[in-house]
Chains A and B, each alone.
Chain A
């Protein structure tokens, strides 16, 4: 069956939701994230037992797009929390001391974080603090937002499922709330730091977004720090600390992309479970980290695969005089996923994953300042083994023509700091499939183009709390399977978000 015929023959599938489904149903960016996080255990798409057809793979891809878990185009905002007034209160420093514009870290904030949330002045241990000091931070974002998605399949006659389906552009808007982040972090003792971040959706359903314990400066050596728990990967450009909040702009597409048809659930922007060894020079200009991580994309209690991934990062900063600090880094993540399980009565037995196949993500990132102008370029090359890319158990033969899926993606984000209380932002991002899992898949299927711009204004700047007046517009184009006979094999879906928010943190 040709691809075009196959795609057009899939009308029985539920309406194609793609990004719109996620963005329209996601009442807020944080809620969308929380939903994703809560569902991610079940979203892990281990290949089905037995051989599959290309149709099965497409069906799975479509399904993944619908539930917003598998496609890069799924417009979910990332969990973002990392501005911590509790630290500012502890040390009496203004937010601006650690942040270019909170939550993004500046070079001093990076060093503070690398030191285990310590300034190393012999007053870091909680015993040196006033008894009344409790390191808790709350962040929540009341907002007004508009979400829009083109080419959504709807019944031609409302309420009449037999009336046939047509495409419409759907829009929703209204006042809303983000979820809430309840964050506590600090030191248990000198050189023993911790993080516990509970995040809720906008219905106050909480989950563990991050929980970790870190032994800092082991042997009084900043090159040796060990962290165990669930934590953000040491991405040089942190998605948890960036300056975008909307449903379509509030995540890096590159950090969550899955190739069409792939069973790999991994996102380099997702917090992961494992242990990380890291180190840095005294000024944190030179940094490294190496982590071993459970192959479960950071879902506690879901070690269904009993296998491990690895992540390494290295970056080097340079003092460029009046221009500022320039940093460049490289990274690589090598993961594996089983393609089959031991079974009992035909059901997979958790923890018995076998015949693992590999995937990897690798690339470079930069953080360059031209005085008040900051550029954040990022490049990623991704590759999924043919069995994973085609969702085929490796104890079954590959479908004809099945091969590795690979792609390149990247973005360029720009910040212009008018002053410490006002920043203008923009980001342009692209994902391009370089090789589909099957030769007859459209070469552009899954490609993404995204653009965001906005501004954040901080009306006040001191050491107790933070408020940002946030405005943002984000636009995403995704190349998706065609829906209707009038379309070709692919169709461009446009989704957009307009967000006005009061982002506060105490």
Chain B
């Protein structure tokens, strides 16, 4: 091989290219600042949410589904069922507050961390706490409600009653009485006679929860979470609040019954299975022809 005066592009040229690429990226991606202060203060524990920081993270994690303007029409929304939440309406399923009121910041954080089962909303548990607070702060800038209203007061949940056969049977009777079966089905499979025609507040089809396949509820996993859903309802969905109908321990009865429908071993399901082994014939079927036991 001969000695050839090889030359390479100068380092200056390569640095220039990198700087040009960097400049193009900066110019393409710098956005205006979010609407600071519009959403009111956001504070979760010791974390104070920062809308400006939240906007960047919202673009990274959320905008693909919820849209750059929080209106639930991100580029993926058309492919997603159930459709992503429209933050401009400030209507949220998972709250600790009564139906129609705004959720607390902690409620929104909990949803971010927990995700929504049976939807495309993941569990954003690995995000730093500060980032979650920032995200919530930014989400609250999408609706003017946050500037004019305060979050509702969390409903009080009484201490749980003991799990007994009587409690489960009472809950089963409530399942019949309040016609839960019409949507959730007589066996809790989400296949009640009304199930196929249900829509949410934006007229999008929505499916009732299937207790027989899920191990998590839409808004939590504990008995208290399930109790809270009865009290608050899932705003924006046909699942109404039963706060005016279910009082005190009755809620726990319904919780205990619904736990027996799940595909996992729970104290309720163990007790219920044992009772059914000898008393199944005493039960009236749930449905339109029955008044429950």
Contact = CB atoms under 8 A, between A and B. Distances in A.
Determine if chain A interacts with chain B.
Answer: yes
Contact of B115 (A94, A119, A473, A496): A119
Nearest to A173: B8
Given A91-B122, A92-B120, A463 B30 contact: no
Contact of A420 (B9, B56, B65, B125): B56
Contacts of B213: 122
A424 B118 contact: no
A204 interface: no
A172 B30 CA distance: 38
A285 B126 CA distance: 7
A320 interface: yes
Interface string B124-162: 111111110000000000000000000000000000000
A168 B8 contact: no
Nearest to A118: B122
B169 interface: no
A121 B118 contact: yes
Given A96-B61, A283-B125, A459 B17 contact: no
A166 B3 CA distance: 9
A284 B64 contact: no
Q: Is the interface of A mostly helix, strand, loop or mixed?
A: mixed
Contacts of A498: 8-9, 14
Nearest to B76: A92
Contacts of B4: 168
Given A419-B25, A463-B76, A91 B120 contact: yes
A496 B18 CA distance: 17
A71 interface: no
A421 B21 CA distance: 11
A313 interface: no
B279 interface: no
Q: Which of A166, A169, A220, A284 has the most CB of B within 10 A?
A: A169
A420 B29 contact: yes
B64 A462 contact: yes
B6 A459 contact: no
Contacts of B29: 418-422
A122 B8 contact: no
B21 A471 contact: yes
B278 interface: no
A168 B1 contact: yes
Contacts of B7: 171
Given A283-B125, A418-B26, A463-B76, A169 B2 contact: no
Contacts of A107: 126-128
A44 interface: no
A129 to B, nearest CB: 11
Interface string A252-280: 00000000000000000000000000000
Interface in B1-41: 1-4, 6-9, 11, 14-15, 17-18, 21-22, 24-26, 28-30
B60 interface: yes
Interface stretch (A78-86, A321-329, A441-449): A321-329
- How many A residues are at the interface, by size bracket? 35 or more
A79 B79 CA distance: 33
Contacts of A169: 6
A283 B112 CA distance: 13
Interface in A130-148: 146, 148
B17 A471 contact: yes
A94 B63 contact: yes
A491 to B, nearest CB: 18
B243 interface: no
Contacts of B122: 91, 93, 108, 112, 119, 121
B214 interface: yes
Contacts of B123: 119-121, 282
Given A94-B60, A121-B120, A155-B1, A419 B30 contact: yes
Contact of A123 (B47, B76, B120, B129): B120
A284 B126 contact: yes
A454 B18 contact: yes
B116 interface: yes
Contacts of B6: 148, 169-171
A154 B120 CA distance: 61
B80 interface: yes
Interface in A448-506: 453-455, 457-459, 462-463, 469, 471, 473, 496, 498, 500
A174 to B, nearest CB: 12
12 contacts: A92-B64, A94-B60, A112-B122, A122-B216, A324-B128, A419-B25, A421-B28, A421-B29, A454-B18, A457-B21, A458-B25, A462-B75
Interface of B: 1-4, 6-9, 11, 14-15, 17-18, 21-22, 24-26, 28-30, 47, 53, 56, 59-61, 63-65, 75-76, 79-80, 115-131, 213-216
Query: 5 tightest CB-CB pairs across the interface, nearest first?
Result: A422-B25, A92-B76, A171-B6, A158-B2, A154-B1
